[in-house]
Amino acid sequence: MTENYTPPKVWTWDKENGGQWASLNRPIAGATHDKELPVGKHPYQLYSLATPNGQKVTILLEELLAAGADAEYDAWLIKIGDGDQFGSGFVEINPNSKIPALVDRSGREPVRVFESGAILMHLAEKFGMFLGDPAKRPEMLSWLFWQMGSAPYLGGGFGHFYAYAPYPMEYPINRFAMEVKRQLDVLDKHLADHQFMTGSDYTIADIAIWPWYGRTVQGQSYNAGEFLDVGIYKNVIRWAEEIGARPAVQRGRMVNKAFGEPHEQLHERHDASDFETKTQDKIGTA
């Protein structure tokens, strides 16, 4: 980045530009190779990776199962570092080539659902759970969509320039750090007098926000806890710890995880017993 940079009249793609994830980015859509997706025996087929967006869905599925819903699912690992999201089968269920993507096979015809917020809404409405008080539905939806609109500043903005850009760039880091701290302050002020995002009801708004902002105040995002001085957001920390202590949340975080400690990685999930028998420390494969 130079101070005298002048944008060209017509932008052209330089595939070498873009930092750690440059090889996965391109200015066109569509499949790059033929690859069918596997299909398991359960009504819900999830194709994902345990990024914050992926964790939203696996956490909800585990919460639904814990609450007694008939929400059994197969979770298949999509390795975005290998370009699995550009396979023809995945593109067929998500033309945007982003995880997570779900195929609901519980009805007469398979139904595809992509975008994490849409998947949360689809499942919560289908089972009538984690939607909270009907009178507070607009509030719940407002916070759910707040997350969908805000998190790109945390991930694609701050996270990219702080952790993944080719070299440190003062202006974008400052710009996005300011916005992330503003967002954390929004949450902190709101949670000062709310147990969860809409009061006493734990909803899909909490499930959507927690993997992004809960991880951030616990210092687990981009190793930037000290830089962002996250310890000052006491109300967000209290909320994050309460949600993180839920057994279904702890299980959901493990599903489709292909990084971190081996005992926390469950690459695929096809049965509840997999958490005890098929984590990477148990099966010992990469």
- DSSP letter for each residue of the chain: --TT----SS----TT-SGGGGGG--SS-S-SB--PPP--SSSEEEEE-SSHHHHHHHHHHHHHHHTT----EEEEE--GGGTGGGBHHHHHH-TT--S-EEEE-SSSS-EEEESHHHHHHHHHHHHT-S---GGGHHHHHHHHHHHHHHHHIIIIIIIIIIIISSS--HHHHHHHHHHHHHHHHHHHHHHTT-SBTTBS---HHHHHHIIIIIHHHTT-STT-HHHHTGGG-HHHHHHHHHHHTSHHHHHHHHBT--SS-GGG-BS-BSSTTHHHH-SHHHH---
Confidence of residue 5 (pLDDT cuts 50, 70, 90): confident
Poorest-confidence range of 13-27, 53-67, 250-264?
Answer: 13-27
Which CATH number does the domain 134-250 belong to among 1.10.10.10, 3.30.565.10, 3.20.20.70, 1.20.1050.10? 1.20.1050.10
Any idea where the domains of the chain sit in the sequence?
Answer: 134-250
Looking at the chain, the whole-number percentage of residues with pLDDT higher than 70 is: 96
pLDDT digits 0-9 by tens, 254-273: 999 999 999 999 999 999 99
> Predicted confidence band at 26 (pLDDT cuts at 50, 70, 90)?
confident
Model confidence at 37: pLDDT above 60:
yes
